[in-house]
Structure 1
Amino acid sequence: MTEQYRSRTERRKMKKNPKKTKRKKGMVKRIFTALLLIFLIFFIAGTVTVFAMLRGTPELNPELLKDPVSSNIYDKDDEEIATVSGEENREFASIQDTPELVQNATLAIEDVRFREHFGLDIRRIGGAVLANFREGFGSEGASTITQQVIKRSFLTPEKTLKRKVQEAYLAVKLEQNYSKDQILEMYLNKIYYGKGAYGIKTAAETYFQKELDELTLSEAALLAGLPQRPNYYDPTKNPEAAEKRRNTVIAAMVKYGFINEAQAEEAKEIKVADMLNPKEKEPRKYEAFIDQVIREIEEVEGLSERDIYESGLKIYTTLDVSAQENTEKTLKDDAMFPDDKFQAGVVLVDTETGEVRAIGGGRNKKKGNFNYAIQSKRQPGSAIKPILDYGPAIEHLKWSTGKIIKDEKLVINGHEIRNWDRSHRGQVSMRKALEQSYNVPAVNTFLEVGADKAKEFAANLGIEPKEELEPAYAIGGFKHGISPLQLAGAYAAFGNEGIYHKPHTVRKIVFPDGREIDNTPEPVAAMSDYTAYMITDMLKDVVRKGTGTRARVPNLPMAGKTGTTNPPPNITHGTTDGWFAGYTTRYAAAVWTGYDKTTQEQYVKEGSTIAQRIFKDVMSHASEGIDTPDFKKPDSVIEVALEAGTEKKPSPFTPKDKIVYELFVRGTGPSGISQTYNKLGAPTGLSASYNEESNSITLSWNHAKEGNVSFAISMSVDGGEATSLPSTGGLSISVPNVQAGSTYQFQVVAIDESTNQKSDPASASIKIPDPTDEEETPPENTEPEPPTNEEEQPSPPHNDNQEQENGNNNNNGENGEKTDQEKKKPGDQTNEENENTETNTKPEQPPTPPRKEEEE
């Protein structure tokens, strides 16, 4: 009853509100209709969009399904230098001749549902859509083997929605016109496996020198993993990465039931390096340079190495053919190297643009060989000092080139930092420390700058250590090292007013449809112009008179730095690496030399000497016939005279040879005037006396000596050329065997032995009596006298006409004039037997510091 009652009650309520029920039904209907309209609109819009995208889709051309389109490479002057095509290294293998093991390895890693889908893998597309929604379009692909055949044959490699739609459309058409075996055969013969090898058959011969039916599981898995990134997974260059990729393929084969766990474990135990038996190939022209071109193509979004061989690209590079050929010629000159195993890597770049002009990848470089200019990551030694030490000090602390740095015993974490000559100087200027490549001042500079600032400065120059920097990095003790390519780019920024351009070999890429990609990197203001110039000015001294003199090219304004690294602990002689990096306003270059492995028999015996010689040859050739201006000092830099060994201005008494000129950031400068040198007093009371008995002159003087003072004496006779007498630490000397009738002039100068400072001279002169010049005295009585038996005695000589030259104390020696001594009467005893002269001179005016000589 209750239920019936309630039911009747509800029915009554419904009867009372019929309009409300109708309104609800109407609203639902309208919402459904609106959603349907929205869906239809989106569907129509999507359909129209898809058809618009399909407009211009190429036809399925059977010829294009077989052969790739060659690419052309051009030099800096847009002259064609090479044509590259996979056709030059391709052998066809039918699907019947391709073992099931090889097919399964490829399907497991590339498209496991290949034999089930219709050209598109819907499940895979769903996963890719989610990934692209989370991380952005292009973050993950969903391409099937069928789609990859289409992409390699007909379409450009760009990652756009339009290209993806066209790819999907053509993939479905391809599935409708060809069998699964035919499509897989196309893929296995078209795909690129690295080292110029197209197709699985060619790849087997390239890496193992085997036929397809001879391949093991481990070898088949290795080949199947290469197409994703052929250059990166190249087992001859990156065996660790290749082995990791091979194991990924093996794991996929287990997952999808192609092999069991036991087979997988057995295959994984084999080292990739032990599997390889690479086939020797003839080198192509400019091989080392094209190596880097390939790497840069791979870095362009949407492109890979295989696009060079099969996409019909026009690749415009920065290559200078003349510089490249000269670099290769230099590295082939056996007379320059100690033995055949000694290696070298060279990179030459344009200082202003970062465009790579030449690459020397090694001696006797062959196709696919290790490229020492690009791949080699070696410790840079002292070549890093401008980048991690002195550059940051100028940039962040505004140090001058005359900054005084401690050069004393330095121990860090129990390890002593040593200079190359195993000595210390107490303190040394930054210029001298860099010029002579002292380690202790460099580490002290790094510690004062701070590791974070140093790392930031280096990163702006393209050198980015991932780990935290330790003091050992200040002198090149890197954990992973850097390449000549990186170092050349970093040094170029010093010669380009602090503007860094990433070194690059590719200017632009032109696709068959006319689309272009500009590959020129954006410039980076890596440092202030004052930092670049001040480092350059110091590095010029390295080449002019420091450790880098062997790299110097006559009449070419250039700067540079050497670098060497210590051998392993068990080797007590030689070095491991020899570097030289340098630059002009036109070009910059970096050279590495050394062995693959340093041993007791194989080590660098000449430090950086060979690297300097290579640099000189490469730089002189590149600069021949080109105007190379000197580095221009910016307005932010001033030149100031300093007293050597101090950060102060010279005093008026600083010797000329103790005055140096250093660079300061404008707005900074030396504080105060040096008090090292005070005026050194001249000798006083200088007198010269003649001793008739010994026929000698005694020269004596007084001096208030303080410290280690000696006296330099010069003498001239009768106005002739002055000669030096032995110096003395006493206050008198004796001059023997003098000539009668001659006038002797003397000058005595006090010298401070500790500072080499000299006083004003004191002067004196004396005339030696000559008996032949004496005159007879006339008789007083003119009357005749009676003759006597006694002989007539000569009268004493008169002194009225005898002159002595004395300095006039009143003129202080300003004009060097002397006055005559007053005539003496016959009875005078003063100075009658010992004639002497004393001259005091006025102190000379402080010397004017010499101007700094212009360097060549």
Structure 2
Amino acid sequence: MTEPWWRKASVTGRMIGRACLSTLRRIRLRHILIVTGSVGILLLLIGGYSIATLPLEGGLKVDPTPSALVIEADNGETFATRGVFKGTKLTATDLPAHLTQAILAIEDRRFYSHLGIDPWGILRAVWRNWQAGGTREGGSTITQQLVRLMFLSPEQTLRRKVQEAILSLWLEHQLSKEEILLRYLNTAYFGAGAYGVDAAAQRYFGKPTNELSLAEAAMLAGLVRAPSQLAPTRNLGGAKERADTVLQAMVETGAIAAEQAEAARAEPVNLRTPPETPPGTNYFVDTAAADVRRLLGGASGDLTLHTTLDLELQRLAEGIIERRLEADGQQKNVSQAALVALTPDGAIKALVGGRDYEASQFNRATQARRQAGSLFKLFVYLTALQKGYGPQSTVVDRPTQIGDWEPQNANGRFRGAVTLRTAFAQSINTVAAQLADEVGIPALIETAKQLGVQSELPAVPSLALGSAEVTLLEMTRAYAAVATGNERIEPYAVRSIQGGSQKALSARPAPGSSAGSLGESRAAMLDLMQAVVREGTGKTARLPNVPVGGKTGTTQEYRDAWFIGFTPDLIVGVWVGNDDNAPMNKVVGGDLPAQIWHDFLTRAAPLLAKGKSAPAPAQVAREPDPSSPAPPPPAAEIVRGVPEVLDTGTLAIRGTLVRLEGIQGERGNMARQLTRFLRWREVACAPSSMPGVQRCQIGGYNLSAIILAAGGGRATADASEELLAAEEQARSARLGVWRRGR
């Protein structure tokens, strides 16, 4: 019986199907092998190329820089730093346990168990960042970070990632875990110019690494992820928030107990340098740095400078100049001003080189050379006095011609016979020209050079009226020489320099008498300069019950205006004008410069009388010091607790609404910053002498003064002198609400 055809077809179909399936399997396997082989070859090529192109000179580059400078004011307060801090290379015994634990908790929890790369750490970081909605944790191990610092460039490419992985595995076989961690801490950047943890400890806290507290260690550990953004000298609130995250990570890893974390959060962190160093002091810092180069040349290592700067006088000078230019600058077409204040021995107590250091680092007190105008008459009259003239000598104000030059008086009139004292006090040009012609221009130049003028002085008749270009500092120096009776006063900004071992590298000797003396001519010159303020062009500078002498100066077309004057305590020079040499709106030396001088000396006199001013605002840039508490109000009247910030002038403490004395409250960013500052801190408030407001204290300081000095608000009309001084400090430094553009 023959097999049905349909059965034969079915068998044939099955055979064909099996043959096709086998063929497909062979094709798929061949393709998989081809693809797998290609990927393998590609990875081998990438790996080989990455290894072949490993950078021999990659890694972190620290440009050669002059010595790092820590700058202290005359009262020992650190107020500025400069340069790159290198610190010292630490050994394992130098590291406190809590610093190591903080670094590992926040940067690499599985450091001692992985081989250089931690897949679980990467997954954990991805999960935490997804939960937080932003980058809170990185996936790179400490070994990978060290590899980047030592060998690799910052480029974000596949090749660099492969190189990083290969080098991390290699480094783990070359070094022990302790060596890797130590090299990392000695190399990492911690912000504010500090490379290595020792440099960071010295930079921020002024102490060696082994003395760091848990709170300080947590703050440093939190910086390495974003050092420039979180450096506490520029973002103290952000640094504290990051330190809180580090402390929480230490609790999660079992490094510390929750109680220890809470205690560390409540611990005040005292910075060696204040956050947001006022930019105006940078003009002085530039001058101090130049002194260091002159005294030490190319000295290396971190240096501490004890300078002459009086921070209160500096803030006062900056505030007065800013306020005067804001009030009168536009109307009088004046955009710039400079001020320098010297003590009788030449110490620079205050130096304002311009209105805004951030906009222009050009120092108009030490670098700008401008025509002196009638200010130069000091040398004309002093030379004449040395040649036999006296204050009562008669001179004639008349039309005068010397060669082709015909000097004119400012008012266009002539007075006839006048005394030398009157001619100087009224700044009569024709008399100065005649005296200069009589004593000789070379004699004027010699007198100016003897008193410290270093600028080039052309030997022309118009020199008598200040046609030469000079600096404010050298002219103030010359007036100081007459005020003190010494022929040469050397202005200086640095009293002593110490190296990292606190060994004195340079110290200024005690002031002594000058080799030369002005003799009898000095007394006569003082008489003339006092007449300027008493009855002449400088009457605006008069101070009650204080002897004042000085001289005004105005150049042609009102391009420059000067006033330099002195009291028994200070010699102060002021210049106003425009950088582009544009004429001002009829501003003379007895106008805006004398007004600035008067404002400054009026406020400076009581500070100097007390020996040294140190009101609370001078300290507010630092964290409050619990060791210096102020006497508290009676306990029954105190509202005490951790506050909730409604605005910068209004708090809520345990359900009680507290309005701070002397502050117009600000919301928004200012309030958020205050919230971060007050977090976990207890405030004590009591009724103020003003109705409806409270005086609150934190760490012994007036909270209102702290807020105003940081620019967190504006002072009210009835604010105390203390609070107004704090506001002026913030305004001069353009902090907070006083930033330009607000």
Please, what TM-score do these two structures have when normalized by structure 2? 0.46
Larger of the two Rg values belongs to structure: 1
Higher relative contact order (CA 8 A, sep 6+): 2
Please, what TM-score do these two structures have when normalized by structure 1? 0.40
